[in-house]
A and B are shown apart, each in its own frame.
Chain A
Amino acid sequence: MYKLIWLKELKGELYTWKSTAWLLAASLLFSFTSYLLLTNKELTLLDQTELLWLLGKVIVGVGLLVVTIDASSIISSEFEQETAESLFLTPLALKDFLLGKLLAPLTLWILIYLISVPYIIVASAGSRLALPFMGHVFLLGTLCVLGFILMTFAIALLYRSSKNTLTTAFVILLAAAVPALFAATLKSGSVLTTVSKINPLDNVFSALDNVLVDYQISLGQNWQFYPPLIIFGLVMLGLLSAAARRFRQQGIIRNE
C-alpha cells in the first residue's frame, strides 16, 4: 500500500515542468558553485580539499532544504485540503501512509544526489577523492535527511498545518546549521563542544572535513560521526511514533 502513496506523491511532485523546476534550480546552483570554486581567482586559492568540502556542504545543504520544505507540506496538505478523511476511510494503515510519504522526500534527496555526482567527479579530478566523496556524501546525507524527514513528519502530525510545520522545521534546521558553520576554534567551549557532538549537521560537516581535508577516507576512520546520526534518526523515529499515537487517539477531525 505504501508504494501507491509513494508513487502518487512522486507523480504530484514530478508531473508538471513547474514542479520539477527545483531540479533545474538545484543543478544551476551546483553549476554556479563548482564553476566559481574552480575558476574564480580568489576561490581557487583554496586548497582542492577545502574546495571539495565546501561543495559537499552545499550538496547536503540543498538536499536538506528541499527535503524539509517537501516534508513540511506532504502530510499537512492532506489535512488542509481535507483529503485525509477520505484517505483514512480506505483500508490504509497509518504506518503505510507514513512510509509512502517518507519515501517521496527521500527520493527527492536521491535525485539531488544524482544531479550532484557529475560535479563531484569534476571537482575532485586528480585527487583520488571522488569515490570516498560520493560514498560519504550519500551515506551521511541520507542519514541526516532521514532524521529531518522523520522530525518534520512528527511536527506535521502534531500541528496539521503546512505553514507552522514549515516554520518550525526551518527554525530547527537553521538552529542546527548555525553552530555547524562555526570554525573549529569557536567551538572550544564545553557547551559548544557538546552541542557539536550531538548536532547531526555538525557531524556531517566534520565527517566530510575528516574525509576530504584529513584524507581519513574509510568508514572505520569516521566511525565516530555515524552513531550520532543514527541516534538522531532513532530519536526522531520515536518522536514520530509518539505523534502518530497521539494522532490515532485524537482522530482525523481533532476535537479541540
Chain B
Amino acid sequence: MKYFFGLVSIILCYELWGAPAVLAQTAAAGPLLINISSSKTLSGTAGDYVTVLAGITNSSAGPVSNITTYLSLADESTKLPVDLEDWSAEKGLFIGNIDARQTLPLNWKIHFVTPGDYALIVVAEAAGQELPQTSAITHFHVNSKRNLNPGQVLPVALGMPIVILFAMTLLTYRRNSKLV
C-alpha cells in the first residue's frame, strides 16, 4: 500500500510539473516564417551541387533581432543526423534584424557527397524566442557515382609489379654480365 501511494504521488508530481511546461511551449510560437521556394525534392548524383532557396519572413508587427538560420540534415535510411562538413560551406547564416512584415531571401549551395535519401530542414532562431522556427522538409535523393572500372584496374594492379620485377631482373642481369 505504501508503494502504491508512492507511485501515485510520483505520477501526480509528473503531471503537475509536466503539464505547464507543455502549455508554455505551445504558447511561445515565434513570429518568423520560413518558406522553401526551391523544389520539394532535389535529386542528383554524388558530387553535384544544388541550391536550396528559401525566404524568411517576420510576420509580427515589430522588428525581430539576432536571427540565426542554419541547416539540419538527416539521413532517412539510418535515421541519424548528418555532419554537414562536406555538404555545405555555410552551415549557418546570421541575420541581424528583420523589420516588421519584411522577407529576406536565403540560399544554400549544397554539395551532394554520399548517395542516399536525406531530409533537410532550415531552422531559424531569434533572440528572446523560446522556440525555433522550422521550414518544410526538402528531400534529397542522391544517386551514387559509379565510375569504377575493375576491368582497367586489373592490368595495372598486375602489370606494375611485373614491370618493376622485370626492370629489377634486367638491371641485375646487366650488372652481373658487366662483372663477368
Report which A residues bind B (CB closer than 8 A). 15-17, 20-21, 23-24, 27-28, 30-32, 34-35, 38-39, 44-45, 47-49, 115, 118-119, 122-123, 125-127, 184-185, 209, 213-215
Q: Is B52 an interface position by the 8 A CB rule?
A: no
Across the interface, A31 reaches (CB within 8 A) one of B111, B113, B115, B158, namely B158
- Other contacts beyond A49-B113, A209-B86: 16, CB < 8 A: A15-B175, A20-B171, A24-B161, A24-B164, A24-B168, A34-B157, A39-B150, A39-B153, A44-B146, A45-B144, A47-B113, A48-B46, A49-B145, A127-B147, A184-B83, A215-B47
A residues in contact with B164, CB < 8 Å = 23-24, 27, 115
Interface: B152 (CB within 8 A): yes
Interface of A (DSSP majority class)? helix
The CA-CA distance from A235 to B86 in the complex, in Å, is 32
The CA-CA distance from A207 to B69 in the complex, in Å, is 29
When chains A and B are docked, how far (Å) is the Cα of A31 from the Cα of B158? Answer: 7
Neighbouring A residues of B111 by C-beta, 8 Å: 214-215
Band of interface residues on B = 20 to 34
Chain B contacts of A48 at CB under 8 A?
46, 145-148
State whether B147 touches A126 (Cβ < 8 A): yes
Contact A119–B156 (Cβ < 8 Å)? yes
Inter-subunit contact B46/A47 (CB<8 Å): yes
The answer to whether A118 and B46 have CB atoms under 8 Å apart is no
Cα A35 to Cα B160 with chains together (Å): 12
- The answer to whether residues A185 and B149 also contact, given A24-B165, A115-B164 and a CB cut-off of 8 A, is no
Which B residues fall within an 8 A CB radius of A? Answer: 46-47, 83, 85-86, 111, 113-115, 144-150, 152-154, 156-161, 164-165, 168-169, 171-172, 175
Given the contacts A48-B148, A115-B160, A119-B160, A20 and B168 also touching, CB distance less than 8 Å = yes
Q: Which residues of A contact B113 (CB under 8 A)?
A: 47, 49, 213
Complex alpha-carbon distance, A233 and B2, angstroms = 75
- Provide the bound-state CA to CA distance between A154 and B122, in Å: 54
Give A215 to B156 CA distance when docked, in angstroms: 26
Give Cα distance in the complex from A27 to B113, angstroms: 30
Are A38 and B148 in contact, CB atoms less than 8 angstroms apart?
Answer: yes
Are A47 and B144 neighbours in the complex by a CB distance under 8 Å? yes
- Assess whether A122 is in contact with B158, with CB atoms less than 8 Å apart: no
> When the two chains form their complex, are residues B145 and A34 in contact, meaning their CB atoms are under 8 A apart?
no
A31 touches B160 (CB 8 A): yes
